[in-house]
Structure 1
Amino acid sequence: MHLTQEQVSAFAALPLRSLRHEYPNYIMHALNGPQDVLSPRALHPVFYGCYDWHSSVHGYWLLARCARQYPALPQQAEIATLFEEHFTAANMQQELAYFTAPGRTSFERPYGWAWLLALAQELESWPHPRAAAWLAAMEPLVADIRNRVLNFFPLLSYAIRVGTHYNSAFALRLILDFARHRKDAELESAVVAAACRYFIADSNYPAHYEPGGDEFLSAALTEALLMADVLEPDVYVDWFAQFLPSLPDVDRLMNPAEVSDRSDPKIAHLDGLNLSRAWCMKRIARRLPEHDAAAATLTAAAQRHIQASLPHVASGHYAGEHWLATFAMLAMEAPA
């Protein structure tokens, strides 16, 4: 499957609509007093749409990526207008103030943190004449999140392996990309150290227990993808063979999850699982030798997962439409 400009345009249409869509809104909000009883947009003048904060962040990431990679995209002007409207120094200062208020140490940790850094990376790569200004407005928040990452992972004694927002491996993977893009040796070292501390000794991973009923990430595959970027190629091949030694036989991992109700915001996560699995599978396969049977198994499984959920990214249900296009973009892109 090859990603076409028509598909990219369809993906971009979803966050273009949702990023200004304030309600319904799922707020994870620690109130420090009655003054904090505010609307989503009053709390988050940039990241108030797309149902929740992190989906808003990666909705902007998706738009920047689509605009950067597809210069002929018909929504170029609309995307630039949206960034110009929201990515101001004053708006970003308010976003930063939310993080630094008392009692919000764990807000959006680590999923939202990772996507915020990924968004910064995408803006830094985008040759739009205003992208540098939008990034500059966001830079104080980026610096704050970077410091939070450096402080948090040394304190996290055990990896969080759930297939939802708290997953450690997925966040570390996005943060590692950002660190290497910026040539940030301190951040890269911290991510690599955390990944090795959590995952280097894993073997015979019980992937047959996946998926859980509300998961949009595979704990097994996100870990395997992270380690593919942490370990040297020859070391990784041996690690992966021990990690998932019976890969072709793990039917529940190699076949798409069934989505019984796309109007349910938790069950709809399973479409995201199928797409994020495909993203991981395609990239892990590229890290394995061509003759390795696991590479062919993963490549074929990725196609099944894409076919199962790509047609449902624009399902007519906001439960999925506010976020799934991001994971569809990841799934469909050709791995480097």
Structure 2
Amino acid sequence: MHLTLDQVSAFAALPLRSLRHEYPNHIMHALNGPQDVLSPRALHPVFYGCYDWHSAVHGYWLLARCARQYPTLPQQDNIAVLFDEHFTAANMQQERAYFQTPGRVSFERPYGWAWIMALAQELDTWQHPKAKIWLAAMEPLVAEIRSRVFSYFAKLSYAIRVGTHYNSAFALKLILDFARHRNDIELESAVVTASCRYFMGDSNYPAHYEPGGDEFLSAALTEALLMSDVLEPNVFPDWFAQYLPALGDIGRLMNPADVSDHSDPKIAHLNGLNLSRAWCMKRIARRLPESDPAGPILSAAARRHIEAGLPNVVSGEYAGEHWLATFAMLAMEAVN
């Protein structure tokens, strides 16, 4: 299953519209006084659209990714205009200042933090003539988030294994990619250390309990994907065999989730689960030896999940359209 230019264009059209779409908006906002009663855009001059802050961050990531990988994308100019409009030093300084305000230590932790780093990595990779300017504008925010990663995972005694924004493994995976891209040895070491502390001893993971009714991540698969990057290639297959033995018998993990209401903002998370599972499955399969029977099982399951999730990305339902294209992109990309 390969992405076509028309599909990528349809994906890009969603954040192009939603990133300027201030309302409806789900604000996670700690008020320290009446002066903090402000509109989403007044609070967040960059990341005010797409219903919530983190979706705006990965909406920009998606646009940069689409524009970088598909130079003939018809929305190239519109994407550049959007970045020019929002990625200014003044706007990003206000985004950083929000984090530095008392009472907001846990704001967007860790999901939004991880996507900030993924966005910075994408801008650093994109060969657009202004990409480095936009990246320079957000570097103070990236540095703020980076510093918080060290303190957070140092004090987080137990991994958070839910299939929503607080999942530890998903954030660690994106942060590890960023650290390796930048050759940030200190950050990479912190991520690897935390990952091994949380997950190295896991075995017989109870994946048959997945999914929860509002999850868009698989706790089982995001952990496995992370560890496939953390562990050496000759170590990971044995770890995975102990972690998810009898993989083909875990029906609730290997088969797509049923989505009963695509307009419900929580239940619609399950559309994202189907796509994020496929993203994990494809990559885990590539990290296993060709002789490992788990590989074909994962590859076939990934296809089923894409077939279930992809038709719901462009649906007319804002509950899904403000964010699902990001995970569709991850699920559909070729695996190196």
Q: TM-score, normalised by structure 1?
A: 1.00
Tell me the equivalent position of 2:125.
125
Tell me the equivalent position of 1:154.
154
Matches within 5 A, 1:189-200: 189-200=189-200
Listed one character per residue, the Cα deviations across residues 184-211 of structure 1 (whole Å, up to 9, x for unaligned) are: 0000000000000000000000000000
Which consecutive residues of structure 1, in runs of 5 or more, have no partner in the other structure? Answer: none
Listed one character per residue, the Cα deviations across residues 76-119 of structure 1 (whole Å, up to 9, x for unaligned) are: 00000000000000000000010000000000000000000000
Pairing 1:35–2:41 present = no
Query: Within 2, Cα distance between the matches of 1:292 and 1:97?
Result: 49
Tell me the equivalent position of 1:8.
8
3-state SS in 1 of match to 2:73 = coil
| Amino acid corresponding to residue 3 of structure 1 in structure 2 | L
Tell me the equivalent position of 1:69.
69
Query: Within 1, Cα distance between the matches of 2:129 and 2:234?
Result: 42
Query: Within 2, Cα distance between the matches of 1:40 and 1:246?
Result: 47
Matches within 5 A, 1:1-336: 1-336=1-336
| Amino acid corresponding to residue 234 of structure 1 in structure 2 | N
Query: Within 1, Cα distance between the matches of 2:33 and 2:131?
Result: 37
Query: Within 1, Cα distance between the matches of 2:83 and 2:102?
Result: 29
Query: Within 1, Cα distance between the matches of 2:312 and 2:217?
Result: 17
| Amino acid corresponding to residue 20 of structure 2 in structure 1 | R
Query: Within 2, Cα distance between the matches of 1:211 and 1:270?
Result: 8
Quote how far apart the aligned CAs of 1:15 are.
Answer: 0.2
Quote how far apart the aligned CAs of 1:218 are.
Answer: 0.1
3-state SS in 2 of match to 1:212 = coil
Query: Within 2, Cα distance between the matches of 1:278 and 1:212?
Result: 17
Query: Within 2, Cα distance between the matches of 1:45 and 1:100?
Result: 16
Query: Within 2, Cα distance between the matches of 1:51 and 1:294?
Result: 38
Quote how far apart the aligned CAs of 1:23 are.
Answer: 0.1
Which consecutive residues of structure 2, in runs of 5 or more, have no partner in the other structure? Answer: none
Quote how far apart the aligned CAs of 1:234 are.
Answer: 1.2
Query: Within 2, Cα distance between the matches of 1:5 and 1:44?
Result: 32
* Identical counterparts, % of pairs: 82
Query: Within 2, Cα distance between the matches of 1:130 and 1:32?
Result: 37
Query: Within 2, Cα distance between the matches of 1:11 and 1:291?
Result: 36
3-state SS in 1 of match to 2:158 = coil
Quote how far apart the aligned CAs of 1:246 are.
Answer: 1.2
Query: Within 1, Cα distance between the matches of 2:235 and 2:176?
Result: 19
Superposed CA RMSD in Å reads 0.4
Quote how far apart the aligned CAs of 1:291 are.
Answer: 1.4
3-state SS in 1 of match to 2:235 = helix
| Amino acid corresponding to residue 307 of structure 1 in structure 2 | E
Quote how far apart the aligned CAs of 1:221 are.
Answer: 0.1
3-state SS in 1 of match to 2:7 = helix
Q: TM-score, normalised by structure 2?
A: 1.00
| Amino acid corresponding to residue 252 of structure 1 in structure 2 | R
Query: Within 2, Cα distance between the matches of 1:334 and 1:73?
Result: 18
Quote how far apart the aligned CAs of 1:309 are.
Answer: 1.0
Quote how far apart the aligned CAs of 1:39 are.
Answer: 0.1
Q: How many residues align?
A: 336
Query: Within 2, Cα distance between the matches of 1:310 and 1:245?
Result: 29
Query: Within 2, Cα distance between the matches of 1:226 and 1:162?
Result: 15
Listed one character per residue, the Cα deviations across residues 296-326 of structure 1 (whole Å, up to 9, x for unaligned) are: 0000000000000101101111000000000
Query: Within 2, Cα distance between the matches of 1:132 and 1:53?
Result: 23
Query: Within 1, Cα distance between the matches of 2:84 and 2:42?
Result: 18
Listed one character per residue, the Cα deviations across residues 33-77 of structure 1 (whole Å, up to 9, x for unaligned) are: 000000000000000000000000000000000000000000000
Quote how far apart the aligned CAs of 1:151 are.
Answer: 1.1
The ranges of structure 1 where at least 4 consecutive aligned residues each deviate by more than 3 angstroms after the TM superposition are: none
| Amino acid corresponding to residue 118 of structure 1 in structure 2 | A
